[in-house]
Amino acid sequence: MPSKEANKIQGMFSSIAPRYDLLNKILSLGRDRYWREFTVRKLPEINNGVFLDVATGTADIAIEIVKHYPLGINVIGVDFSHHMLELGRKKVERLGYSGQIELRYGDANSLPFEDNTFDGAIVAFGIRNLPDYKKGFQEMSRVLKNGGKMVVLEFTPLESFSNGASLSFLTGQSHILRYFYLTKVLPLIGEIISGRKGAYKYLSDSVVDFPDPEKLKEIMKGAGLREVKYYLLTFGTVAVHVGTK
């Protein structure tokens, strides 16, 4: 990754790590738990599977996977923020999942795993933070076994509300409210609670600049995935993409 951009993002996430879980709940109005549960259920139902959680953060998705597959499942989570991983390890240990979840420091654009390793790979609210998210998809596809599934949970960009395609059912008023929340309210609340000036301004900007669901679908196909489809949740606020290698 370009070192300057990568270091900036890494430093930002490390600085907000202590309040990250709380902010997720507040800023999603409590919907983050439902989004995680829905996303994890799109992974393949397989016994004794091994799953990869990219940009695991504080390990919420990894924990959700183990809860959904209580027996015979192992999860490896990778993240490039030591502070996030430290908090995630404490959470995993507290919940008694250390035997099934392993958290490692790693770069999503250069995953430290061999080809065809995982039965499923998942990334939640992390792909848009990569300087090269297309490379991130290619890396996730590389480490998937043939027949394995990639699942992506991500915010939809504001452009989706006006392109007349996927989100045409949303009204103009909904678009205005979401735009106001994303660009004004979210950065302000994030700054107050995290104590990090400008951190959530970056996060809201990254949503605005991210590809819409249809474009993201095509990008995933270009990374070697087939049968790619997506589900819109909470009035199109987020999309869950699913593809098979």
**HEC secondary structure over 51-96:** EEEECCCCCHHHHHHHHHCCCCCEEEEEECCHHHHHHHHHHHHHHC
Rounded to whole angstroms, the Cα distance separating 73 from 176 reads 43
Residue 169 lies in a domain: no
Query: Among 14-28, 95-109, 149-163, whose mean pLDDT is lowest?
Result: 14-28
Q: pLDDT digit string (tens) for 164-198? A: 444 443 444 556 676 777 777 777 777 777 777 76
Residue 38 lies in a domain: yes
Residue 76 lies in a domain: yes
Tokens matching residue 67: 């809860």
Range of the domain at 125: 3-156+210-244
Residue 191 lies in a domain: no
Q: What is the mean pLDDT of the chain?
A: 85
Whether residue 88 contacts residue 102, with contact meaning beta carbons closer than 8 Å, is answered with no
Beta strands in the chain (DSSP E): 50-54, 74-79, 101-105, 118-124, 144-155, 226-233, 238-244
Q: What is the pLDDT of residue 158?
A: 66
Residue 19 lies in a domain: yes
Residue 146 lies in a domain: yes
pTM: 0.84
Does the structure show a pLDDT above 80 at 10? no
CATH of the domain at 84: 3.40.50.150
Q: What is the pLDDT of residue 157?
A: 84
Rounded to whole angstroms, the Cα distance separating 171 from 175 reads 6
Residue 164 lies in a domain: no
Q: pLDDT digit string (tens) for 39-97? A: 999 999 888 899 999 999 999 999 999 999 877 899 999 999 999 999 999 999 999 99
The total of structural domains in the chain comes to 1
Residue 127 lies in a domain: yes
